[in-house]
Structures are given as structure tokens and as C-alpha cells.
């Protein structure tokens, strides 16, 4: 799948307790600059963060199973909209989807299921028309969450995990 952003994907997918934290010695370093209050404030009032390079990076990271890294980008965007409004809810739902990916890869299945259910609850509150929230196609994601919620025994830690991608409309 072609990338939406100009990102160079990190050389490993961070999993807590399994490899080096990205911001510690030996870590890949991706996203370190995104966690400061100053960076979050630089996003305040910015027009349409769903068309921002950082959002495109979050989607590319998610689609390539870099769930922790994607959540870091989404959390910066969520803070950038001050965690309010439809975009705030959308970012929160997407963050929870990534959290479920991390938990699934760690084989923490009850937590994974909880995050998936909460993500679906949040997405259902958004003004989604024909599977689209603004320029983001959630059709496959919602279909998965509503109809094919994973059986915890189906997944193994070495799999990419989610059988769907997030697509962006032009």
C-alpha cells in the first residue's frame, strides 16, 4: 500500500516490555518531538488537522501496524484540538484503536477487547456518512468492529493484527 505521508517508517514496532522505548537510549526516536506542550499549542487553531502531514503519518503508521507510534501522533493531534468537538472524539477513538492493537500484540486480550468496544462507541457518535468521517474512510474499520470483532484466540503476536486499513479520500 502506498503511503499518504513522507514518513520514513521506524525500524521496529514498539511494544512495551519487548523492545527499547523509542525515546530512550537505543530507541528509534520516532515521535519524541510530538509530546511537548509547545508542539501541541502549535496545532491550536490550525485548519483541518485531518489533512495535516502528521495525521497522514498517523494513518501510515497504523496501516503498517506501528500502533504505539501512531497513537503518539494522534495524541498530539487530539491535544491540538484541545480534546473537544467531533475531531477530538475522532482522534480519541483512533487512539483507542491503536491501544487495542498494542494490547493485542502483547496478548492482553481483555484490555484489547475493551479498547475495541470503546473505540466503536466513540465512532458511532460521529457524523459518519457512507463510511466517511470527513476525508477518512472508516467503512472497513466499522465493519470489523461491528460484525467481526476478533475472537481473542484468532490472533498471534507475530501477525500484523488488524485485517483492515484506514483510507483517506482526496
Give the span between the Cα atoms of 56 and 53, in whole angstroms. Answer: 5
As a whole number, mean pLDDT of residues 106-116 equals: 89
Query: In the predicted model, what is the mean pLDDT of residues 9-32?
Result: 90
| CATH fold label, 34-168 | Hyaluronidase domain-like (1.10.3450)
Per-residue confidence band for 159, with pLDDT thresholds at 50, 70 and 90: low
Residue of 8, 104, 114 lying closest to 61 (CA atoms): 8
Return the pLDDT at 44.
84
The closest alpha carbon to 72, from 51, 53, 91, 46, belongs to: 91
Determine the length of the chain.
170
Q: How far is CA 4 from the centre of its chain?
A: 14
pLDDT of residue 151: 58
pTM for this prediction:
0.91
For 43-67, the pLDDT digits (tens) are 888 888 999 999 999 999 999 999 9
Amino acid at each position: 500500500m502506498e503511503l499518504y505521508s513522507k514518513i520514513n517508517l521506524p525500524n521496529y514496532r514498539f511494544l512495551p516490555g519487548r523492545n527499547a522505548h523509542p525515546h530512550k537510549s537505543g530507541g528509534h526516536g520516532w515521535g519524541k518531538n510530538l509530546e511537548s506542550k509547545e508542539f501541541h499549542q502549535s496545532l491550536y487553531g490550525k485548519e483541518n488537522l485531518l489533512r495535516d502531514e502528521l495525521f497522514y503519518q498517523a494513518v501510515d503508521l497504523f496501516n503498517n501496524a506501528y500502533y504505539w507510534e501512531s497513537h503518539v501522533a494522534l495524541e498530539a493531534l487530539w491535544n491540538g484540538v484541545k480534546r473537544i468537538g467531533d475531531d477530538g472524539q475522532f482522534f480519541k477513538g483512533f487512539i483507542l484503536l491503536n491501544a487495542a492493537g498494542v494490547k493485542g500484540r502483547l496478548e492482553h486480550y481483555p484490555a484489547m477487547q475493551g479498547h475495541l468496544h470503546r473505540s466503536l462507541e466513540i465512532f458511532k457518535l460521529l457524523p459518519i456518512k457512507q463510511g466517511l468521517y470527513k476525508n477518512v474512510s472508516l467503512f472497513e474499520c466499522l465493519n470489523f468492529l461491528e460484525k467481526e470483532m476478533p475472537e481473542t484466540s484468532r490472533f498471534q503476536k507475530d501477525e500484523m493484527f488488524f485485517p483492515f486499513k484506514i483510507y483517506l479520500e482526496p
